[in-house]
A = this chain, B = another copy of it.
Amino acid sequence: MYRIALVGAGFIGGVHAANLAAHPEVDFALVYDVDADRATALAERYGAQVAVAENDVFDRDRIDAVLIASSTDTHARHLRSAAAAGIATLCEKPIDLDLDRAAAVVAEVQRAGILAMVDFNRRFDRDYAELHRVVTSGEVGDVHLIQMTTRGPTLPPLSYLAVSGGQMRDQTVHFFDLARWIAAADPESVFATGSTVIDPSLADLGDIDLSAVTLRLPGGALVQIDSARQIGYGYDERIEVLGSTGLVEARRHRTGSVSRYGRGQVADDGMHAGWFERVSASYRSSLDHFVSALQNRSPVGPTLSEALKAQAIAEAATQSLCSAKLEHVRYPAGSA
């Protein structure tokens, strides 16, 4: 049994709390939040204790691992605390919105040598994991082209968007990580272009709600990603990988398998209403993976280094949005 503490008792903290409580190898020991009431509510519901002070969490005598699900601007600080205490860490993305600060934290964590993983949970989605397996096994030959779609049902609140770092760093970054992981290669350059088709006021934030990104990989393989903040038909993501000998696709998910045949049309069950219905199972799988890594001291991924690389691509993509040019991706030293 691993004693795991949770930092952050907001929406995603609640998701993690339920998974921690249900996991047979985990003792959900402690929960901390700047808002003590939120922490208490979660603790009571799942039989955990409330940490009075932030530092209580980073106590190796009480805690084997910490799950960081607090607000983005606190991730770096908590990672440093965990590194200092020598406590294994599963951290929500991003490490820090500022790439240089993120790189500095990663360097510090690497020196401390703790087991650390960033929760790019989509790698643990059943279908994406299978797609990765197919590609890695060579079933479709060399990767030539990856097509990715990430589309949300509704524009997040402007207050959220204002501190999100923009669409590349907040939404598309998941697919930068997936692209690297699937292709087993670091993109060399990126072109991105975007628009505000949903809410023109986003332009005031320097942000967009629709974008098309192209990545170039070593050897000439290409990646296309379309990202939309708000679509009219639910939540939609999909990936297809064109290899030299075949294609593998992780198709759109539907809510069920019921078809209604009427005159001229057949209406099937549609898309999930929101992102959480689509990906919630992958949070459990990523926790499983982290716990296995604790057990086996096995290689843990996505590592902080890898998260840094995904951020570096987002950085170059953000630059390309302005320059309208293909931009070279500069990976930080720490992301070797």
Interface positions, chain A 113-155, Cβ under 8 Å from B, are 126-127, 130-131, 134, 139-142, 144-145, 147, 149, 151
Q: Is the CB of B262 within 8 A of A252?
A: no
A86 within 8 A of B: no
Q: Is the CB of A127 within 8 A of B258?
A: yes
Q: Is the CB of A266 within 8 A of B263?
A: no
Task: Give chain A's interface residue range (CB within 8 Å of chain B).
Answer: 35 or more
Q: Is the CB of B214 within 8 A of A193?
A: yes
In the assembled complex, which residues on chain B have CB atoms less than 8 Å from the CB atom of A222? 193-195, 210-212, 226
Chain B binder among A71-79, A242-250, A298-306: A242-250
CA distance A234 to B266 in the complex (A): 11
CA distance A191 to B193 in the complex (A): 9
**Residue in B147, B193, B252, B262 whose CB lies within 8 Å of A246:** B262
Chain B residue nearest to A216 in the complex (CB): B193
Q: Is the CB of B228 within 8 A of A232?
A: no
In the assembled complex, which residues on chain B have CB atoms less than 8 Å from the CB atom of A257? 127, 250-253
Chosen A-B contacts, 26 in total, with CB atoms closer than 8 Å, are A127-B256, A127-B258, A131-B258, A140-B260, A144-B197, A145-B212, A191-B214, A191-B324, A212-B224, A224-B226, A231-B242, A231-B247, A232-B245, A232-B247, A232-B263, A233-B261, A233-B262, A233-B263, A236-B247, A246-B260, A249-B258, A249-B261, A250-B258, A251-B258, A255-B264, A261-B271
